[in-house]
Amino acid sequence: MNKPKLEIKLAFITGLRDVVLNEVSQYPNLHIVRERREPLYGDFMYFDFVKDFGKLTTLRSVLRAYIIAQGSRYNPRYISNHKSILGGIVAMILEGQDSKFKTFKIFCAGADSPTIRSIAEYIKNTYKLTETEEADLKIHIIKTEKNWEIGAEITPRPLSFRDYRTKHMSGAMDPTIAYAVNSLCDLEHTSSYLNIFSGSATLLIEAGQCYPNLKQLVGFDNNKKIISLAYQNIKKAGLIRKIQLKEKDIFDEPDLGRFDVITSDLPFGMSISKNEDLEKLYRCFIEYSEDNLNRGGRFAVYTSKHEVLKKNIVKSRFKIIKTLNLQFLSSVNAYLLPKIFICRLKNDKQSRLS
């Protein structure tokens, strides 16, 4: 029996490809071999296997990371008869971090069949793990377009799960998207950062953790309860002395100074009852940002109501320099098609001509 050819597989939100490639380029040992898109599950990149895969756990633009093997023969019956193939993958993941993995689950069609049950018993007895629905070690045996794939996720929780999330907030921004927004704002060369409609503080925390050069991190929201919950996240992230949150309303045009970067995950949906209110909110938001962004700075916005936003940007002193079209399933299994806009102020000549 030949040893399987192992690979690293990374899953990420559709639309963040360039951000992911830029981040993994910091790891010269990672060599991409192919890509694949699954309409329901997002995008995937496959890399040559690296023994030091523990470094992958620091990736911030990626949802999940796996060790996998693909081949036409790796169907459930074959794996049941050659359990050491899957066992080798499991052993590598558990090595040095077995205390993190106490439970497992096998994701496969026919999970209750005798074939899969025999594989589950092997995992239980060999690695002393308990089989549960909410598992630490997630093993899969799946059929792709051309081959069978076996593998397992290398971390007990998705890479997109952040330890600083102390409370679940409805509609909270996915941290990988927050990382992407910040990565497009040239934060390595800036010192001040404002987050409008700061919500759970995900954008602020991602900026604070990734860019220690930022001297001023400020956010504001008009909901005292949300601010209180956000402060719990900030404290857990170890940034309580670095990030300031203010209870302010955008319509009051709060005077907080001028900033090199302004970001926002704009509110929409249930928080806005009428479309004309959304129009007014977005217009006020853009006008406020125009007045409080330093010349040469970046203005970054994430929203699902991008038609309304773009219409108001076109009328403003901002110039769109980059957009990312995202696509993913929400927690209620509905497709979301939001956009990221990266803008800067037009220069004086451009402003007079527009």
Residue with tokens 């704002």: 185
Instruction: Answer with the residue of higher pLDDT: 15 or 98.
Output: 15
Residue 1 has pLDDT above 70, yes or no: no
Residue 39 has pLDDT above 70, yes or no: no
The domain spans of the chain are 6-153, 175-353
Residue 235 has pLDDT above 90, yes or no: yes
pLDDT on residue 331: 66
Residue 226 has pLDDT above 50, yes or no: yes
The rounded distance, in Å, linking the Cα atoms of 307 and 119 is 50
pLDDT on residue 236: 96
Over residues 319-340, mean pLDDT: 88
| Confidence band, pLDDT 50/70/90 cuts, at residue 67 | very high
Residue 60 has pLDDT above 90, yes or no: yes
Over residues 90-113, mean pLDDT: 93
Task: Tell me the pLDDT tens digit for each residue of 121-177.
Answer: 999 999 999 999 999 999 999 998 889 999 999 999 999 999 999 877 777 899 999
* Distances in whole angstroms, Cα of residue 215 to Cα of each of 54, 147, 218, 235: 31, 51, 10, 17
pLDDT on residue 48: 96
pLDDT on residue 20: 97
pLDDT on residue 30: 92
Residue 349 has pLDDT above 80, yes or no: no
pLDDT on residue 273: 46
| Confidence band, pLDDT 50/70/90 cuts, at residue 276 | low
Task: Tell me the pLDDT tens digit for each residue of 20-30.
Answer: 999 999 988 99
The rounded distance, in Å, linking the Cα atoms of 33 and 267 is 39
pLDDT on residue 87: 96
pLDDT on residue 291: 97
For the chain, what is the HEC assignment? CCCCCEEEEEEECECCHHHHHHHHCCCCCCCEEEEEEECCCEEEEEEECCCCHHHHHHCCCCCEEEEEEEECCCCHHHHHHCHHHHHHHHHHHHCCCHHHCCEEEEECCCCCCHHHHHHHHHHHHHHCCEECCCCCEEEEEEECCCCEEEEEECCCCCCCCCCCCCCCCCCCCCHHHHHHHHHCCCHHHCCEEEEECCCCCHHHHHHHHHCCCCCEEEEEECCHHHHHHHHHHHHHCCCCCCEEEEECCHHHCCCCCCEEEEEEECCCHHHCCCHHHHHHHHHHHHHHHHHHEEEEEEEEEEECCHHHHHHHHHCCCEEEEEEEECEEECCCCCEECCEEEEEEECCHHHHHHC
pLDDT on residue 219: 98
Q: Into which CATH architecture does domain 6-153 fall?
A: 2-Layer Sandwich (3.30)
Average pLDDT, the chain: 92
Homologous superfamily of the 175-353 domain (CATH): Vaccinia Virus protein VP39 (3.40.50.150)
Q: Cβ distance 206 to 178 under 8 Å?
A: yes
As a dihedral over the C-alpha atoms of residue 110, residue 114, residue 120, residue 124, rounded to 10 degrees, the angle is 160
| Confidence band, pLDDT 50/70/90 cuts, at residue 353 | very low
Residue 239 has pLDDT above 50, yes or no: yes
